[in-house]
Amino acid sequence: MTPLLLNRRDTCRLCDSARMVRILELAPTPPAEWYFPPGAETPTKETFPLELFFCQDCFHVQLIHVLDPVQLFTSYFYESKTSPGLDQHFTELAHYLIGFLALKSNDLVVDIGSNDGLLLSKFDMEGLRVVGIEPSHNLAEKCRQKNILVVNDFLSDQSVDVIIKNFGYPRLITANNVFAHNDDLFGMAKNVRKLMSEDSVFVFEVSSLLDMISGKVFDWIYHEHLSYHSLTSLIPFLKSAGLVVWMVQNVDTKGGSLRVFASRSDCVVPRDPFLSVASQLQREKASGLQEFITYASFADGIERSRQEVRIQLSKAKERGRKIIGYGASATTTTLIHHFGLIEFLDFLVDDNPVRWGCLVPGTSLEVKSPSILAELMEYDLLVTAWRYKNSIISRNLNALRSNKVRVIVPLPSLEVLTAL
């Protein structure tokens, strides 16, 4: 088997500068999505460094330890349909883009990293032609079950050639939360441009570095996410690949994301940048994304939160209370390992049945159905999926009230809710 840790970068992923400085060192973890049942043969039990670096030239923020994408993504466990609110988000996104770009029924939409086909299904229902590019074998099969055509491959010269030869050039190319996954981002951007005609539009969503820093969304950092994007770094990078950014939108998904609109620099109808571009650049500069001290403060805040949460859970254990985590996702892996929560938690629950019976990566903590909460009395519920605390509490309110449960929300600042 190929070693899972491929290499350790010493230059910036966007501009190739060697002027890189570490801004955050998290506890090492195994791959964050590797939830397996007890006794299953896992590809590895190793943990790998999670070190966040800042480029002093283009201000890009990134991981430098690169895991093998073939082993990470050819059999992938995350499905879009399991992410709270994403179905509605994709429905609204498809309707918006169809109207905004005046897409017609014969137009082709290509989704890079199409996952289980959730987004493409929205365009398909509106009568557009759709094709996915998806490296995971199991997720490509999910697309086929929805009668969505899919190229089971990474975005590459070969997959681009297959699409152009068999389907023509797309009017719209989408990529949602996959532009952070590739170590060779320049190669990815060049292949996006190759797939575009002069009137194609590339619309992609990435986790917003600004929102990550301001909202303390540090658990979004895991090995699949090699890059943490700002528009400040993206614009010159995409320009170097022959793409021009002309609009950006802030959206709420994934703890705060950027939706970026780009075209070929020689597009048939040149577009002047919208005011949103200048506004976002100004926000990023004013928030200190070009300054090392911003990230030092971010790291200090995470450490304070880690200590506060551990003190709270230690007190709960001293009182003999069970502590149950709610939410088992990739972000949970980072949170549990970095905050050192393994010693406090009894088990976790999650709404996704695929997770039930599995163990949190690198731990013996089992994931169970939330239905078990109705059977327990006087315990503490640690909301590991803290960004979804409102929906979690709302769905389970009766059980939490009647069973005398304290709800602990670890981030962005510690909350202990005793009266729901």
- State the residue range of the domain holding 401: 309-417
Sequence-distant (≥ 6) Cβ neighbours of residue 328 within 8 angstroms: 35, 348, 349, 350, 352, 355, 358, 360, 367, 384
Buried b / exposed e along 160-174 (16+ C-beta atoms within 10 A): beebeeeeebbbbbb
Q: How many domains does the chain have?
A: 1
Judge whether 241 lies within some domain.
no
**What's the pLDDT at 45?**
75
For residue 3, the model assigns a pLDDT of 73
Separation CA 20–CA 365 (nearest Å): 36
322 in a domain, yes or no? yes
pTM here is 0.92
Structure tokens at 273: 């940048």
pLDDT in tens, 191-234: 999 999 999 999 999 999 999 999 999 999 999 999 999 999 99
Residue 404 has which token pair? Answer: 């005398």
Q: Is 254 helix (H, G, I), strand (E, B) or coil?
A: helix
Other Cβ atoms less than 10 A from the Cβ of 405: the count is 23
Q: What is the pLDDT of residues 240-256, one digit of tens each?
A: 999 999 999 999 887 89
Query: Is 382 within a domain?
Result: yes
CA distances from 288 to 22, 207, 297, 374 (A): 16, 17, 11, 46
Residue reference for tokens 């163990």: 359
107 within a domain of the structure (yes/no): no
Alpha helices in 269-318 (DSSP H): 275-286, 292-318
Residue 371 CA to chain centroid, in angstroms? 27
In a domain, 195, yes or no: no
Is 343 among the domain residues? yes
Calpha distance 356→313 (Å, rounded) = 24
- The pLDDT tens digits along the chain (420 residues) read 467 878 899 999 999 999 999 999 999 999 999 998 888 776 667 899 999 999 999 999 999 999 988 888 776 666 766 677 788 999 999 999 999 999 999 999 999 999 999 999 999 999 999 999 998 888 889 889 999 999 999 999 999 999 999 999 999 999 998 889 999 999 999 999 999 999 999 999 999 999 999 999 999 999 999 999 999 999 999 999 999 999 999 998 878 999 999 999 987 665 777 899 999 999 999 999 999 999 999 999 999 999 999 999 999 999 999 999 999 999 999 999 999 999 999 999 999 998 999 999 999 999 999 999 988 888 999 999 999 999 999 988 888 887 789 999 999 999 999 866
pLDDT number for residue 419: 66
Q: What's residue 2's pLDDT?
A: 60
Residue at 348 is within a domain: yes
Q: 260-271 in b/e burial notation, b at 16+ Cβ within 10 A?
A: bbbbbeebeeee
pLDDT tens, position by position, 101-121: 999 999 999 999 999 999 999
Q: What is the CATH number of the domain that holds 321?
A: 3.40.50.720
313 within some domain: yes
pLDDT value of residue 77: 66
DSSP 179-218: TTS-S-HHHHHHHHHHH--TT-EEEEEEEBHHHHHHTT-G
What lies within 8 Å, CB to CB, of 327 at 6+ separation is: 348, 350, 383, 384, 385, 386, 388, 392
The pLDDT, as a whole number, for residue 326 is 98
Residue written as token pair 């060049």: 190
Tokens 């199409």 label which residue? 114
